[in-house]
């Protein structure tokens, strides 16, 4: 595969984008005092249509069954005016038609290896992964409605559906490099969908790889694996946009829907129900 070069035009176009200021502090007791506003609005910015989108998807073991339905839904609903390339990490020889894709061979091991080491996989193949904007998306999801250029900012994170306006499940061991205290935390982000410019994506990957290795050398695993790493990183490098749980929407989960209170979100990316024990074996 060719070595990818990000265009200076693209870098200059989005590098100055910054998230709007958080709302004024609210008294939540022990909860974080500020939250970034959540973005849900569809955007169709023609100045971003020439940005090539590189999806990165991990599908080892039984997860390969999700690839074709996911990609079909992306082709139908997701950035339909942009060229796309699918960077697929798998132990299988997955065959697709009518889309640009590459298969990056990685070993399959039981959970949590594939999720804990995702940053290692991406960093290993950083010279071959294609895309001006790199979007990580979990294999076991589906796009259910139109998604546009609103996801194209330098560091686009997604609010975790289970922690809207409340303290998330951050790493709480103070000796961990992933530790997040209440003074530095903002939103709690889901690890199933994030979108970064090419350069920013690989800064995250290097941080993730080094952090996981540092923890392992001390006999530790981050409490929520890659998601703990992501949330620590986004306290150090602030996101330029935070998407709402519309982009992290659980399937048939009334408990989570009820936790949103008066806030309502329309599903754009559906997190599919599955038998975790069976599918992760």
Instruction: Assess if residue 61 is contained within a domain.
Output: yes
Tokens found for residue 170 = 């951050």
State the DSSP code for 130. Answer: -
Instruction: Assess if residue 124 is contained within a domain.
Output: yes
Q: How many domains, in total, are found in the chain?
A: 1
Dihedral, CA of residue 191, residue 194, residue 196 and residue 200, to nearest 10 = -10
Instruction: Assess if residue 13 is contained within a domain.
Output: no
20-26 contacts at long range (C-beta below 8 A, 24 or more positions apart): 22/186
The string of DSSP codes covering 178-190 is TB--TTT----B-
Q: Please name which of 39, 263, 259 lies closest in space to residue 168, comparing C-alpha atoms.
A: 259
Q: Quick one: which H or E segment has residue 72?
A: helix 67-77
Give the per-residue pLDDT at 278: 64
Strand partners, 119: none
Instruction: Assess if residue 30 is contained within a domain.
Output: no
Could you give the 3-state DSSP secondary structure of residue 151? helix
Q: What's the domain range around 208?
A: 37-279
Could you give the 3-state DSSP secondary structure of residue 22? coil
d(CA 185, CA 177): 14
N-term to C-term CA, the chain? 31
Tokens found for residue 208 = 């993730």
Question: What CATH number is given to the structural domain containing 205?
Answer: 3.90.550.10
Q: Please name which of 88, 101, 127, 119 lies closest in space to residue 6, comparing C-alpha atoms.
A: 127
Instruction: Assess if residue 261 is contained within a domain.
Output: yes
Instruction: Assess if residue 71 is contained within a domain.
Output: yes
Cα dihedral 196, 60, 206, 211 sign? positive
Q: Please name which of 202, 195, 201 lies closest in space to residue 148, comparing C-alpha atoms.
A: 195
Give the per-residue pLDDT at 31: 47
State pTM to two decimals: 0.87
Instruction: Assess if residue 9 is contained within a domain.
Output: no
d(CA 118, CA 201): 12
- Digits of tens for pLDDT over the chain (281 positions)? 444 454 545 444 444 444 444 333 333 344 444 588 999 999 999 999 999 999 999 999 999 999 999 999 999 999 999 999 999 999 999 999 999 999 999 998 877 777 789 999 999 999 999 999 999 999 999 999 999 999 999 999 999 999 998 889 999 999 999 999 988 888 999 999 999 999 999 999 999 999 999 999 999 999 899 999 999 999 999 999 999 999 999 999 999 999 999 899 999 999 998 766 666 66
Strand partners, 193: 137
Instruction: Assess if residue 196 is contained within a domain.
Output: yes
């Amino acid at each position: 595969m060719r070595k990818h070069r990000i265009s200076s035009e693209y870098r200059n176009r989005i590098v100055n984008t910054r998230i709007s200021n958080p709302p004024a502090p609210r008294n939540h007791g022990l909860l974080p005092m500020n939250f970034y506003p959540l973005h849900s609005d569809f955007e169709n910015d023609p100045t971003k249509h020439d940005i090539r989108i590189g999806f990165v998807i991990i599908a080892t073991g039984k997860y390969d069954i999700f690839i074709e339905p996911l990609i079909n839904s992306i082709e139908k609903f997701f950035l339909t005016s942009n060229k796309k390339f699918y960077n697929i990490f798998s132990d299988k020889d997955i065959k697709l038609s009518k889309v640009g894709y590459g298969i990056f061979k990685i070993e399959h091991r039981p959970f949590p290896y594939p999720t804990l080491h995702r940053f290692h996989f991406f960093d290993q193949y950083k010279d071959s992964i294609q895309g001006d904007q790199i979007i990580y998306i979990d294999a076991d999801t589906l796009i259910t409605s139109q998604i546009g250029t609103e996801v194209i900012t330098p560091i686009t994170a997604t609010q975790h559906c289970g922690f809207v306006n409340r303290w998330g499940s951050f790493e709480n061991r103070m000796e961990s490099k992933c530790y997040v205290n209440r003074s530095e935390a903002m939103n709690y982000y889901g690890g199933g969908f994030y979108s970064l410019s090419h350069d920013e994506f690989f800064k995250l990957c290097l941080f993730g790889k080094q952090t996981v290795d540092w923890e392992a050398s001390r006999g530790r695993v981050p409490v929520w694996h890659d998601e703990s790493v992501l949330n620590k990183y986004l306290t150090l490098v602030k996101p330029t946009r935070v998407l709402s749980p519309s982009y992290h929407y659980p399937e048939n989960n009334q408990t989570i829907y009820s936790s949103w209170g008066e806030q309502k979100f329309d599903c754009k990316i559906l997190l599919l129900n599955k038998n975790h024990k069976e599918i992760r074996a």
